Amino acid sequence: MKQHIYLSMTPESLVASHLPPIEFGNYLATGTQKRLRGQAIFLELNPVKLPELPVEYLNERLIPNANGEPKRSVYLSIYRVLENTPLEAMKNLYLVTDDGKVLELKSVPFPLDKQDITHLYQQFNPISTRVASKLSPPEFIAFLTDTKKPVSAPSIFMVELKLNKLARHPEAPIHDLPYPNPDHLKDCLSTLILSEHRLTKTVIRQFKGDLSYRTIKNGFFVGNHDDYIYYAFPSIDELEGPFYSWWRSALTQCF
């Protein structure tokens, strides 16, 4: 059976499996007995480009079950996995709803847009802070992963969230954005806009729970101080067309 290596972001871990990505995502979200439900986000990795993969341990543990069924998961690491995974080993990203629907995202060049004054980022690894910032995604990644600074991280995985009109006008109505404590969010955005030198403002110190996929603005980013990868989220036409089954599941889980 073919070996697959995955970097799970929720929670952060390196996992080997016989299951291909779609089946693996379904397994993560619902379990084998269909009694568990939980959102999952993970990357498939190229094992050839993983310099410290424990090959001997992997071959010993990743073997089919006695009944011939594929081995669903073997944990290879649960600590500081992201920072030790080279970007060139990262393949496609997968978003899983809590009932096991899987959406595959491929990396593309990021179309930089300078129109918005402020941005909203939800970080996943190695920290889970939600941050408002004046910095564009590439700038924010470079800023946060500058290890010469006392406050930094060696790498980061995050998503940019929608602000709509709030990105330029914090006093605007929040409308249907399902963010907790919207007045606090508006205060954070106002502080950024009014401050000449401040670049970031913490909105939520530690994110808990599942991500509302409908709040995604453009896509996911993983990077370090040298480079980054962008995984574009589908347009609304694509979500309501070829990806409708996944999108319907994603909308249902958040209500």
CB atoms within 10 A of CB 154: 14
Judged against a pLDDT cut of 80, whether residue 253 lies above it is answered with: no
Residue pointed to by tokens 């399902």: 178
Q: Which domain holds residue 86?
A: 4-105
- 155, 94: one domain: no
Is residue 249 within a helix (H) or strand (E), and if so which, with residue range? helix 244-253
Inside any domain, residue 110: no
Type of residue found at 87 = L
- 58, 156: one domain: no
- 100, 124: one domain: no
Closest CA to 104 of 164, 44, 192, 190: 44
For the whole model, what pTM was predicted? 0.94
- 169, 240: one domain: yes
**Alpha helices (H) along 31-82:** 55-61
**Spatial distance between the Cα atoms of 7 and 121, rounded to a whole number of angstroms:** 21
pLDDT of residue 255: 45
Task: Give every CB contact of residue 171 below 8 A, 6+ residues apart in sequence.
Answer: 186, 190
Residue 107 · residue 88 · CB < 8 Å: no
- 230, 147: one domain: yes
Domain boundary residue among 105, 128, 157? 105
Domain boundary residue among 82, 105, 128? 105
194-218 confidence digits (pLDDT tens):
998 999 999 999 998 789 999 999 9
**Spatial distance between the Cα atoms of 57 and 62, rounded to a whole number of angstroms:** 8
Inside any domain, residue 19: yes
Inside any domain, residue 46: yes
The count of structural domains within the chain is 2
99-142 confidence digits (pLDDT tens):
999 999 999 999 987 778 999 999 999 999 999 999 999 999 99
- 196, 95: one domain: no
pLDDT of residue 51: 87
- 96, 200: one domain: no
Inside any domain, residue 211: yes
Inside any domain, residue 142: yes
